[in-house]
Amino acid sequence: MPFFQPAQRLSLIPPYLFKAIDDKKEEVRARGVDIIDLGVGDPDLPTPGFIVARMQEAVADPATHRYPMYSGLSRFREAVARWYRRRYEVELDPETEVLTLIGCKEGLAHLPLAVNNPGDVNLVTTPAYPVYRMGTLFAGGNPYAVPLVPENRFLPDLRQIPPIEARDAKLFFFNYPNNPTAATADLDFFRQVVEFCREYRIVAVHDACYSELAFDGYRPPSFLEVPGAKEVGIEFHSLSKTYSMTGWRLGMAVGNREVLAALGKIKSNIDSGVFDAIQLAGIAALDSDQESVREYCRIYQERRDVVVGGLKKLGYQVEPPRATFYVWLATPPGVSSLEFATRLLEQAGVVVVPGVGFGPPGEGFVRLALTVPKERLEEAVHRLGKMG
């Protein structure tokens, strides 16, 4: 018997999708290929200068060098509440209805530990960000897949969830604007979720981290805008995509105070909170005039138009996304998502993510991220055209 054996829970979890893509990418790059990476959704646009300046000022203050508060600076939570009031006309108590996170991923992964007992069921939309399923598995829960299909505009059909699964479910993970499909949801859908979760006593968990990256004048709504939403659920948000702060690790969960208190109890026993200087920079971001966000949306919209327009000229059927910086592209008939992604990398030096990596309903699609300059996107489309 070997000296070390990892925990059995790790056997439930496949290799992280983006790690496998990175390995293949380096293999191709080693052959001298010029790689255009449209894989991981990490903004290439820099964090706005005024946020960086506030961070620099805060780092120089010795008062920020000590342990932060577990629940986050009250000033940051108050800024979150102000932002929600301005953006959505949603009122939040910063003391009980806002929780500071080390980025959305951390909070989403820890939430099942606060809610699930071993064997509990969580409803997980799919294709989806992998952490919803992985967090459930780490907590000893059973993820029940709720498919997102093009016939329903990549919205879950709540009527198709078997009552026996709904009655056993503790959490319902959903995400709009959606990663990876770029689909959007309206308030009518959110009302259906509130009614569904109230009927079955399920905690609704809405991941809204892409809500500010929207185009053509579209303004995605918040789940909490629906009356009664705070009674049944919480919403996760992040500064990562909105302000190009992915590396800073700052986010928030808002909504139902009992659920947030349970998540906060898990966090206080696992992490020591967010560095105060980062929270102070986050306040500057949230309280700003949001002009930097509008400029980033303009740039991403221009990139979207380059990619969607170029793909349509090549004969692809693709819908221009109204939000997120992703394009969800159907593969050619008879070609799997993994096969198509491999061809693009091997023959064109273009990295995309196979849709099946986000869950079985993602088969037949690949995800392209608009996180490289316009000129590189034009070159990527040109290379696809040369492939035939």
Could you please report the per-residue DSSP string of 7-66?
A: -GGGGGSPPPHHHHHHHHHHHHHTTT---EE--S----SPPPHHHHHHHHHHHTSGGGGS
Which amino acid, residue 253? A
What is the model's pLDDT at position 16? 65
139 pLDDT exceeds 70?
Answer: yes
- The pLDDT confidence band at residue 217, using thresholds 50, 70 and 90, is very high
Q: Are strands 326-330 and 365-369 parallel, antiparallel or unpaired?
A: antiparallel
What is the model's pLDDT at position 316? 94
Domains of the chain: 8-46+291-387 (3.90.1150.10), 49-286 (3.40.640.10)
What is the model's pLDDT at position 12? 83
175 DSSP β-pair partners: 207
Question: Looking up tokens 């005039």, which residue turns up?
Answer: 289
- The pLDDT confidence band at residue 369, using thresholds 50, 70 and 90, is very high
CA distances (Å), 320 to each of 139, 176, 302, in order?
37, 16, 11
What is the model's pLDDT at position 95? 97
Burial of 280 (0-12, 13-18, 19+ CB in 10 A): buried
Question: Cα–Cα distance between 22 and 158 in angstroms, integer?
Answer: 36
pTM of the model: 0.96
CA contacts within 13 A on the Cβ side of 144: 20
